[in-house]
């Protein structure tokens, strides 16, 4: 300190200049790739008794030789700042049907760190809890995960086959699909909630080498620093499969049309009486159903009565909601292709009817008549 004061008293003037070589901007700026060498040296310009002297540059070991080329850079490497996000895509649940195979939910994994990374992907079933207001009460089957290979945002079976993210550049994202099968016994309003976790791995490791945080600082090497929310190189998000299903109610009633003694006046169910069966199908679920098929094995004590409708030409009446009546015949094996057939004592009605969502508006009814043996 006394030496400096002494020189100043003799009129020495100093000017300090920092010379930065290599990466521009502030060291460790957000987004600077890891491994970048930040190189700089200081330059001291000074005068002695109003006479400018040769500048002196700094060096890591110290330098006292004047001249612009006699110093050396002080360098450090930018460390690997590991950061990522996993976000469910769309912000709503995914509607599925009971028994649906390959039901897809979509996530986006973004590398918000400063170096290329691999990511191992793990889908799991959640147990309990709510996602998008849907309380988990069933488990999805056959959980799989695939990476969008062509970037079209749509799961393409047989095309999107990668199960980990390979070499994702900084500030870029990958779309990931969780693919499951929904249990056939799922009911309307059931929810199967799932989670997707992405674990940071070393780039080019094939998702076999998890990235580990560096214990201590080393400016001569690239340290690893976890910057994600959990400070563990792992992020996750949830999605919900919400079951929307048809809920069918099937009712079968019988009525006496006539008997051999009372005819149609207060008829009774006695041998020889003509009975009419009415099968009513209503849907109280949230989805329509199609290809309605009814199979009715007749009791051996009755025989189907033919030609009871449409002027004697048809055997069965089918109606959907307020639509006009449709007719068909109970011919053996449905040879006429009208959707109705009789094989032995088994009556089948398969007309492709749609039982609509609004049960009160769209009940399906099937009527046919039998005679008591």
Domain ranges of the chain: 2-78, 81-243, 248-372
Collect all residues with Cβ–Cβ distance below 8 Å to 80 and sequence separation of at least 6.
34, 35, 113, 114, 115, 211, 222, 223, 224, 225
Looking at the chain, the whole-number percentage of residues with pLDDT higher than 90 is 69
Cα Rg for the chain, rounded, in angstroms? Answer: 40
64 pLDDT higher than 90: yes
Predicted local distance difference test score (pLDDT) of residue 7: 45
Intrachain domains 81-243 and 248-372 with the same fold: yes
State the Cα–Cα distance between residues 125 and 157, nearest whole angstrom. 21
Average pLDDT for residues 309-337, to the nearest whole number? 89
Alpha-carbon torsion (13, 19, 24, 26), positive or negative? negative
Q: Which residue has the higher pLDDT, 101 or 76?
A: 101
State the Cα–Cα distance between residues 48 and 9, nearest whole angstrom. 10
26 pLDDT higher than 80: no
Residue 352's closest CA among 307, 320, 323, 321? 320
Across all residues in the chain, what is the average pLDDT?
88
Predicted local distance difference test score (pLDDT) of residue 271: 96
Q: Which residue has the higher pLDDT, 204 or 55?
A: 55
206 pLDDT higher than 80: no
Collect all residues with Cβ–Cβ distance below 8 Å to 5 and sequence separation of at least 6.
none
**pLDDT-derived band at 358, boundaries 50, 70, 90:** low
Predicted local distance difference test score (pLDDT) of residue 100: 96
170 pLDDT higher than 60: yes
The residues that bridge with 202 in the sheet, in sequence order, are 117
Alpha-carbon torsion (292, 296, 302, 303), positive or negative? positive
State the Cα–Cα distance between residues 316 and 99, nearest whole angstrom. 32
Predicted local distance difference test score (pLDDT) of residue 120: 96
pTM of the model: 0.74
Predicted local distance difference test score (pLDDT) of residue 219: 64
Predicted local distance difference test score (pLDDT) of residue 25: 38
Predicted local distance difference test score (pLDDT) of residue 209: 79
Strand, helix or coil at 23? Answer: coil
Q: Which residue has the higher pLDDT, 61 or 358?
A: 61
Average pLDDT for residues 15-41, to the nearest whole number? 62
Q: Pairing mode, if any, of strands 331-332 and 340-343?
A: parallel
27 pLDDT higher than 80: no
156 pLDDT higher than 80: yes
Predicted local distance difference test score (pLDDT) of residue 363: 84
Check if the beta carbon of residue 367 is closer than 8 Å to that of residue 330: no
State the Cα–Cα distance between residues 279 and 364, nearest whole angstrom. 8
CATH code given to domain 248-372: 2.60.40
**pLDDT-derived band at 15, boundaries 50, 70, 90:** low
Six-digit token pair at 285?
């679920």
Average pLDDT for residues 161-185, to the nearest whole number? 96
CATH superfamily for domain 81-243: Immunoglobulins (2.60.40.10)
State the Cα–Cα distance between residues 36 and 20, nearest whole angstrom. 14
State the Cα–Cα distance between residues 109 and 147, nearest whole angstrom. 10
74 pLDDT higher than 80: yes
Predicted local distance difference test score (pLDDT) of residue 71: 94
Any idea which of 79-83, 138-142, 274-278 has the lowest mean pLDDT? 79-83
């Amino acid at each position: 300190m006394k030496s400096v004061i002494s020189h100043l008293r003799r009129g020495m003037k100093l000017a300090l200049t920092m010379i930065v070589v290599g990466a521009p901007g502030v060291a460790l700026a957000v987004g600077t790739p890891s491994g970048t060498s930040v190189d700089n040296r200081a330059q001291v310009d000074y005068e002695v008794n109003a006479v400018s002297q040769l500048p002196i540059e700094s060096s890591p070991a110290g330098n006292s030789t004047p001249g612009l080329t006699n110093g050396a850079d002080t360098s450090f490497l930018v460390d690997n700042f590991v950061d990522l996000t996993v976000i469910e895509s769309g912000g709503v649940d995914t509607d599925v049907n009971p028994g649906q195979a390959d039901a897809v939910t979509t996530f986006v994994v973004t590398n918000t760190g400063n170096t290329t990374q691999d990511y191992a992907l793990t889908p799991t079933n959640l147990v309990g809890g709510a996602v998008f207001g849907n309380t988990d009460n069933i488990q999805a089957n056959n959980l799989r995960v695939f990476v969008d290979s062509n970037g079209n945002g749509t799961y393409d079976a047989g095309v999107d086959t990668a199960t980990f993210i390979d070499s994702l550049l900084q500030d870029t994202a990958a779309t990931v699909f969780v693919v499951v099968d929904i249990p056939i016994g799922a009911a309307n309003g059931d929810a199967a909630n799932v989670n997707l976790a992405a674990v940071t791995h070393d780039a080019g490791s094939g998702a076999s080498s998890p990235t580990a945080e560096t214990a201590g600082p080393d400016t001569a090497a690239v340290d690893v620093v976890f910057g994600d929310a959990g400070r563990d190189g792992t992020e996750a998000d949830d999605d919900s499969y919400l079951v929307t299903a048809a809920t069918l109610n099937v009712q079968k009633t019988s009525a006496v049309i006539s008997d051999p003694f009372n005819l149609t006046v207060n008829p009774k169910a006695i041998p020889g009486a003509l009975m009419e069966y009415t099968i009513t199908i209503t849907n109280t679920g949230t989805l329509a159903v199609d290809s309605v098929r009814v199979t009715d094995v007749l009791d051996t004590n009755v025989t189907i009565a033919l030609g009871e409708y449409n002027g004697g030409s048809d055997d069965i009446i089918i109606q959907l909601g307020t639509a006009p009546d449709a007719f068909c015949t109970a011919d053996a094996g449905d040879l006429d292709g009208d959707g109705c057939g009789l094989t032995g004592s088994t009556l089948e009605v398969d007309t492709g009817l749609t039982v609509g969502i609004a049960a009160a508006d769209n009940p399906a009814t099937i009527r046919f008549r039998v005679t008591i043996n």
